[in-house]
Amino acid sequence: MFCLLAEFATHHQLREAARAAHRDGYSRVDAYSPFPVEGLAEDLGFTEDRVPWLTFLGGVAGAAATLFIQWWANVVDYPINVGGRPLAAWPAFLFPSFEVGTLWAVLAAAIGMLVMNGLPGGGHPLLRFEAFHLATDDKFFLAILADDPRFDEAATRRFLEDLGAEGIWEVPP
Amino acid sequence: MARHPILPPRQDYAMVTAEVADVAHNPVIRRRWWLAMAAAVPLVVAFLASTGLLFWLGTGVWGINIPVNWGLAIINTVWWVGIGHAGTLISSLLLLMGEGWRNSLNRFAEAMTLFAATMAGLFPILHLGRPELFYWNFPIPSTFGVWPQFRSPLAWDFFSFVSYVLVSLAFWYVGMIPDLATLRDRSTGAAKAVYGALALGWRGSAVHWARWRQAYLGIAAAAFHLVISVHSGVAMLFAGGPIPGWHTTIFPPYFVLGAVFSGFAVVIMLAIGLRTAFRLAPLITMRHLDILGRLLLATGLLTLYAYLADAFHAWYSGDSYEIRTLLDRVGGEYAWSAWTAVTLNFGAIQLLWWRRPRRSQAVLFLAGLSVAAGMWFERYMLVVSGLYRDYLPSAWHTYDATLWEWLLFAGTGGVFVVLFLLFARWLPMVSIFEVKEELERRG
């Protein structure tokens, strides 16, 4: 078995269930919703801020790299004297640095988010499970993974029933 | 008077999914889609013919020459990229400001941005005598040992256009991944495989959503300045040179305001088209149109202020060439373009002071069309009347666009419409999960 999957009708119920599972000591738990539910990941113990940092660092790196290329090309390798103006007048190089820095920040955010989420990743057991398809439509799901140290098929099933799940399934691996 | 709600009452999540995802299966809508496609495809043929001839014979098939060496190509570039900015404003700036009503508009506005910016990017390349060498703008180490001149606004705009197109694509795609998963889970066979590949295995996990949210907000925060910076760069392409009528510091804000103004005009036209032809009225409501109408009026008045400030500074400078260009604009050979721009830009939008016209689709659509056309004439006025009288009267020369320039312009319109129709047919035109989020927030 991959996990026990419980279906809930509203995101309020899902949040309560997620909090209860976290409180109860389950560590291999995931919740699924058709739209982002504020606070749901935090209910499961999510505290990370790596994506914002990556975005910032991507932007700084892109801007620095672009500034360096411009400086090296136009000041060091092939200087052109235009009316005696100083060669390394940095404001003239700001615009491409700003735009390319933005591009790197955006790519760092997008690619970093996907990689941290383990995407692209096909063949996930839940994606093969028919009832789970409503997770992208109008239903809310909580999964307790079978490799959770606290997982006990009968006890966990009872735990989910007590939380008011509308349906509980065993998802094959 | 009772305020219309942003979203009609008694909608649930499954209805929202069906309203967006099942549009393509409705036979009436399919027929309309094919009709629109049939109207746009001849223009694509015109695009291919006019670019084909251009590649074969060179820019001599256009009417450009010295002194008017920027003709329709640059007018169209500025017009197309300006349209895109309303999409960026809706998707990023309004997201950061927490304006939930944008959630019905951002997806198709982003598609508009991406396609419009792509059309804009084509023209400077086609305008090169040797378009196949456009990549020389990249700083590529080569045996020539020469580099791009990075101090030039021409180089700036190359980087800003490339960044803008790629950022718009990334934003659009990252925002669409959850909806692609919804389409995957509702389809079968080959469609399921394609949507499944595009959705990258998205399953709506809470932790995935949390990181996605951080990335989405991060992208918006990093990218919202593009609304201002990209068109400021375009404006500096003009203002950077010693051309009377261009060489002024008001140009960046002047261009940005006009760009957002023209973009809202096109967003209004697309919104009305989608809600009537594709039956998206439950998601794109009269209240959305009302807000867009107000924004069109507000950005229009700001643009009018920029016109007046530009004229004032030309007069106040005391520079005889500046004043001559101003007089040429309002009374010279191309005065028609200036007065058409003023009339189309600021005439129809005056109706939008009142609520009733703002709630009329016909009035709003015509106001949008009027502004989109007016802003094109504005760029014609700026480019051509700025160039046709050089400093020396011996160098004066007029400009008339040839058939091939007009066909190319119409052709990019056709390519834009075809791209937009393909998007409307195969991808979620309205952000399904963001509308659900908004429904949830409004209870």
Q: pLDDT of B167-218, one tens digit each?
A: 999 999 999 999 999 999 988 899 999 999 999 999 999 999 999 999 999 9
Question: CA distances (Å), B154 to each of A112, B125, B150, in order?
Answer: 32, 12, 8
Q: Verify whether the Cβ–Cβ distance B185 to A109 is below 8 Å.
A: no
Which of the four pLDDT bands, split at 50, 70 and 90, describes residue B2?
Answer: very low
Cβ-nearest to A121 among B174, B201, B213: B201
| Integer Cα distance of B112 and B88 in angstroms | 10
| Integer Cα distance of A136 and A121 in angstroms | 17
pLDDT tens digits, B222-248: 999 999 999 999 999 999 888 999 999
Q: Mutate one of A2, A136, A139, A142 to test the B interface: name it (highest B CB count within 10 A).
A: A136
Q: Verify whether the Cβ–Cβ distance A120 to B164 is below 8 Å.
A: no
Residue numbers in B near A100 (CB within 8 A): 159, 163
Q: Could you tell me if A140 and A5 are in contact, meaning their C-beta atoms sit under 8 angstroms apart?
A: no
Q: Verify whether the Cβ–Cβ distance B149 to A74 is below 8 Å.
A: yes
User: Who contacts B344 (Cβ-Cβ below 8 Å, separation ≥6)?
Assistant: B370, B371, B373, B374, B377
Query: For residue B117, how many C-alpha atoms fall within 13 Å in the half-sphere facing its CB?
Result: 28
Cα nearest neighbour of B211 on chain A: A113
Torsion angle defined by CA atoms of residues B206, B209, B213 and B216, in that order, rounded to the nearest 10 degrees: 170
Nearest Cα residue to B267 out of B283, B291, B298, B303: B291
Cβ-nearest to B206 among A41, A107, A119: A41
Q: Verify whether the Cβ–Cβ distance A117 to B186 is below 8 Å.
A: no
Residue numbers in A near B146 (CB within 8 A): 78
Nearest Cα residue to B387 out of B310, B438, B328, B433: B328
Kind and range of the H or E element at A83?
none
Å from B53 to nearest chain A CA? Answer: 33
pLDDT at B143 over 80: no
Q: Mutate one of B147, B203, B441 to test the A interface: name it (highest A CB count within 10 A).
A: B203
Answer whether B206 touches A (CB < 8 Å): yes
pLDDT tens digits, A44-70: 989 999 999 999 999 999 999 999 999
Residue numbers in A near B14 (CB within 8 A): 137-138
Answer whether B200 touches A (CB < 8 Å): yes
| Integer Cα distance of A32 and B212 in angstroms | 13
Nearest Cα residue to B114 out of B436, B415, B318, B385: B415
Which of the four pLDDT bands, split at 50, 70 and 90, describes residue A83?
Answer: confident
What pLDDT is stored for residue A128 in this prediction?
Answer: 87
pLDDT at B9 over 60: yes
| Per-chain mean pLDDT for chain B | 92
Which of the four pLDDT bands, split at 50, 70 and 90, describes residue A160?
Answer: very high
What does the pLDDT average to over B399-414? 96
Q: Verify whether the Cβ–Cβ distance A73 to B139 is below 8 Å.
A: yes
Please report the number of interchain residue pairs, chain A to chain B, with beta-carbon separation below 8 angstroms.
201
**Dihedral over Cα of B54, B56, B59, B62: its sign:** negative
pLDDT at B403 over 60: yes
| Integer Cα distance of A32 and A132 in angstroms | 9
Residue numbers in B near A123 (CB within 8 A): 201
